[in-house]
Amino acid sequence: MAKKLFIKTYGCQMNVYDSARMADLLAPLGYGMTEDPSDADMVILNTCHIREKASEKTFSELGRLRAQRVQRQAEGRDTIIAVAGCVAQAEGAEIMRRVPDIDIVLGPQTYHRLPEMVARATRARDERLGNQGKPFKGAGMLDTEFPAESKFDFLPEAAAPQGVTAFLAIQEGCDKFCTFCVVPYTRGAEFSRPVSQIVTEAKRLVAQGAREITLLGQNVNAYHGEGIDGATWGLARLVRYLADKIPDLSRIRYTTSHPRDMDDDLIAAHGDLPQLMPFLHLPVQSGSDRILEAMNRQHTGDHFRRIIEKLRHLRPDLALSSDFIIGFPGESDADHKATVKLIEEIGFAQSFSFKYSPRPGTPAAMLELQVPEAVMDARLQEIQALLEAQLVAFNRATIGRHVPVLIERAGKHSGQMMGKSPYLQPVHAYLPAETIGQEIEIEITELKHYSLGGMPAAGHAASRQPERAIA
Ligand code: SAH
Ligand code: SF4
Ligand code: F3S
């Protein structure tokens, strides 16, 4: 009987990608996915360390899983428990100490060793199943090395299809060392996969039905991989190559970028490459130069404004998204106002804003002048209200327009399909199921807060299907 694997993923899209790779690695060992942790023979928590709240979830979830495991043991079954991802990397030893019966703790750079670790954990589990009544022991394996070999060279060729929209990691790690951020410590130094490996994976994804690929990296536009000709290629060259070599790949996105690496070649690609979608997530963090400097962002507010100006000159409909940290140590009212001003000037289609969370081992956590919680709350509320208003205004402006929607899957209501606009807006429309994987011209008729509703635009092939009202 197939063994069951449950993976819970926290954090960023890179973790989502990694979770899928771990599932691919365990499939040859007979593991199939389950949605139910209480029924799983193996559970992996793929964790995130970016803010305190994200990190704490690991320990509370582990508590629940261990209780479930005890129940399963009483029924003569067992569960292998593994913690992967950035909390494992940052707090591996602490997890081993606080959770003595854990089986596997592995960092983001060693998950290609998972099959071997699972084989050892399985032997340990069989032993403890034969030891009923004796004190319980986990396999207790910890691997948070940054190995010399690249895990990407060890991934299986076979992989479960991701669907119409797929993720592809092309770069990992970060050398920027923003003073608030754990990523350079949890993911390690910047690394770019060679172009040939990326092209092989992209072709496989498209052969499996993907029409859109999002290229992933912690610092994706710092990409500098070995090109087909042996020279070092930047992101723009890679994107152009993929667009040229894979005709069925209709949409390309990339995330997450850093303003410093937004070079002219990449900006130009937004103007002349139709496959590159008019949506860019470009975190700015703050609008105050003083705070940006203390964050070691190595750019100013005006530097960011200039990039946006150039991009919008070439691609006027470009939708922007960003990240903001509210209440970085020393942030004054004037600094906060500078952030508000920048947001008002630029106008974002969507955004993420977070209260500053001091992370152990990062320089900013040591700074005096931490901003009081109540001040942070008030500032966060103001920023979030502003960003929310911009999001609603952006979506509202789409009403009445015709937009090409890449249909991804069935929606909640019968007969309804769901897809995304080029600007990453979710769009619902009544369409035949065969439209999955197609780009359909949709007339947007309705705004449902975060998503849009519409119907096939007149004259478009799909509009010959019976039209129904939007539910
Ligand atoms: N590589 C991306 C960011 C990855 S983390 C980049 O360079 O922008 C995602 C977001 O989490 C960051 O953009 C930042 O806004 C937020 N973040 C990171 N560390 C944080 C901290 N200590 N407290 C609050 N937010 C943080
Ligand atoms: Fe973190 Fe800064 Fe690197 Fe982004 S660029 S991952 S915020 S250190
Ligand atoms: Fe979190 Fe690690 Fe991603 S800390 S945001 S899972 S890189």
Q: Same structural domain for residues 139 and 178?
A: no
Q: How far apart are CA 173 and CA 268, in angstroms?
A: 26
Residue located via tokens 């947001």: 343
Residues of the domain holding 77: 3-143
Write down which residue in 227, 256, 277 finishes a domain: 277
Domain annotation covers residue 355: no
pLDDT of residue 468: 39
Q: Same structural domain for residues 16 and 122?
A: yes
Write down which residue in 277, 292, 317 finishes a domain: 277
pLDDT of residue 470: 37
- 403 closest CA partner among 439, 442, 430, 437: 442
pLDDT of residue 463: 42
CATH number of the domain encompassing residue 263: 3.30.750.210
pLDDT of residue 306: 98
Ligand 2 near 189 CB (within 6 A) = no
Q: Same structural domain for residues 127 and 176?
A: no
Q: How far apart are CA 157 and CA 170, in angstroms?
A: 16
Q: Give the pLDDT means over successive 10-residue stretches in the chain (471 positions).
A: 92 96 96 93 96 89 90 85 97 92 94 93 79 69 89 90 95 97 96 97 97 98 98 98 98 98 98 98 98 98 98 98 98 98 98 96 92 97 98 96 97 94 97 96 93 86 42 34
Please say whether the beta carbons of 47 and 84 come within 8 A. yes
pLDDT of residue 115: 94
Other residues' Cβ atoms within 10 Å of the Cβ of residue 54: 18
Q: Which ligand is nearest to the CA of 380?
A: 1
Backbone φ and ψ of 50, nearest 5°: -65, -40
Please say whether the beta carbons of 421 and 447 come within 8 A. no
Backbone φ and ψ of 315, nearest 5°: -140, 80
Ligand 2 near 178 CB (within 6 A) = yes
pLDDT of residue 131: 67
For atom 8 of ligand 1, which residue has the closest CA? Answer: 283
Q: Which ligand is nearest to the CA of 13?
A: 3
User: Looking at residue 349, what DSSP letter applies?
Assistant: S
Using most ligand atoms within 8 A of CB, pick from 50, 190, 218, 356 the residue to mutate for ligand 2.
218
DSSP class per residue in 351-400:
EEEEE----TTSGGGG-S-PPPHHHHHHHHHHHHHHHHHHHHHHHHTTTT
Other residues' Cβ atoms within 10 Å of the Cβ of residue 265: 13
Instruction: State the greatest distance between any 2 C-alpha atoms of the chain, in Å, as a whole number.
Output: 73
User: Is the bond leading into 256 cis (omega within 30 degrees of zero)?
Assistant: yes
Domain annotation covers residue 170: yes
The identity of residue 439, as a single letter, is E
Domain annotation covers residue 461: no
Q: Same structural domain for residues 133 and 191?
A: no
Q: Same structural domain for residues 9 and 130?
A: yes
pLDDT of residue 460: 61
Q: Token digits for 251?
A: 């949409």
Could you identify the atom of ligand 3 that is nearest to the CA of residue 47? 6
CATH number of the domain encompassing residue 452: 2.40.50.140
